Amino acid sequence: MRITKKMAKEILEVLDEIRKNMFEGRKREYPFNEWERKRELVRQRLEKLPELIEEAASMVKIASKRGRNKRMNLEERTSLLLFAKVFGKSNRDMELMITMLKPVFKTSVSYKTIERLYSDEEVKSCLYNLFVLLLKEEGTSGKYAGDGTGYTLSITKHYASNTKKKGKDFRYTFRVIDLETNLCVAFGYSNHSEKEAFEKAMKMLDECDIEIESMRLDKYYSSRKVIRYFGREISLYLLPKKNISKVGVEWYRIFKKILCDPIEFLSNYFKRNLCESSFSSDKRRFGWIIRQKRDDRIELALFVITILHNIFAIRVKVS
CA atoms of 253 and 304, how far apart (whole Å): 38
Residue 26 clears pLDDT 60, i.e. is over it: no
Q: Do residue 42 and residue 22 come from a single domain?
A: no
pLDDT band at 30 (very low <50, low <70, confident <90, very high): very low
pLDDT at 236: 93
Residue at 254: amino acid letter: I
By the 10 Å C-beta count (0-12 exposed, 13-18 middle, 19+ buried), 12 is classed as: middle
Shared domain for 51 and 116, answered yes or no, is yes
Q: What is the mean pLDDT of residues 3-28?
A: 66
pLDDT reported for residue 174: 95
User: Is 184 in the same domain as 54?
Assistant: no
Q: Does 156 lie in the same domain as 12? A: yes
Per-residue confidence at 88, pLDDT binned at 50, 70, 90?
Answer: confident
Asked if residue 126 belongs to a domain, the reply is yes
Q: How far apart are CA 246 and CA 152, in angstroms?
A: 37
Tell me whether residue 242 is in a domain.
yes
Examine residue 309 and state whether it is found in any structural domain, yes or no.
no
| Domain count along the chain | 2
Tell whether 147 and 17 lie within a shared domain: yes
Q: What is the pLDDT, as a whole number, of residue 303? A: 96
Residue 172, domain member (yes or no): yes
Average pLDDT estimate for 75-91: 89
Do 151 and 285 lie in a common domain? yes
Asked whether 180 and 135 are in contact (CB, 8 A), the reply is: no
- Share of residues in the chain with pLDDT > 70 (%): 82
In angstroms, the Cα distances linking 54 to 49, 58, 123, 272, 292 are 9, 6, 12, 34, 26
Residues 188 and 282 occupy one common structural domain: yes
Residue 303 lies in a domain: no
Residue 171, H or E segment: strand 167-178
Q: What is the mean pLDDT of residues 238-243?
A: 82
Please report whether residue 76 resides in a domain.
yes
Q: Is residue 151 part of a domain?
A: yes
Whole-angstrom CA distances from 194 to 170, 172, 241 are: 11, 5, 18
Q: Is residue 125 part of a domain?
A: yes
Mean pLDDT computed over every residue of the chain = 83
Res. 258: pLDDT tops 70: yes
Highest mean pLDDT: which range of 48-57, 95-104, 265-274: 48-57
pLDDT given for residue 20 in this prediction: 67
pLDDT at 67: 61
112 and 15 co-located in one domain? no
Range of the domain at 128: 35-61+72-138
Q: What is the mean pLDDT of residues 107-125?
A: 91
| Whether residue 245 is found in the same domain as residue 99 | no
Q: Which of 138, 159, 178 is the last residue of a domain?
A: 138
Neighbours of 187 (CB within 10 A): 23
Burial of 124-140, coded b for 16+ CB within 10 Å and e otherwise, reads bbbbbbbbebbbeebeb
CA dist 37 and 29 (Å) reads: 14
One-letter amino acid at 99 equals T
Lowest average pLDDT, out of 3-12, 171-180, 257-266, goes to 3-12
Would you call 231 helix, strand, or coil by DSSP?
coil
Helix axes 262-269 and 248-260, enclosed angle (nearest 10):
110
Q: What is the DSSP letter of 277?
A: H
Asked if residue 50 and residue 14 are part of one domain, the reply reads no
pTM: 0.84
Q: Which whole number is the average pLDDT over 108-137?
A: 93
pLDDT at 244 over 80: no
* Domain end residue (candidates: 138, 162, 180): 138
| pLDDT higher than 90, residue 298 | yes
Number of C-beta neighbours around residue 273 at 10 A: 18
Predicted confidence at residue 51, as pLDDT, reads 95
List pLDDT tens digits, range 152-208.
887 554 444 454 554 457 899 999 999 999 999 999 999 989 999 999 999 999 988
Residue 158: the pLDDT is: 44
Confidence of residue 34 (pLDDT cuts 50, 70, 90): low
Bridge partners of residue 148, in order along the sequence: 174
**Do 91 and 202 share a domain, yes or no?**
no
Do 245 and 98 share a structural domain? no
Task: Confirm if 188 and 173 have CB atoms less than 8 A apart.
Answer: yes
> Residue 116 has what pLDDT?
92
What is the structure's pLDDT at 232? 84
Q: Which residues of 25-62 are buried (b: 16+ CB within 10 A; e: fewer)?
A: eeeeeebbebeeeeeeeeeebeeeeeebbeebbeebee
Q: Which of 106, 121, 138 is the last residue of a domain?
A: 138
pLDDT for position 159? 42
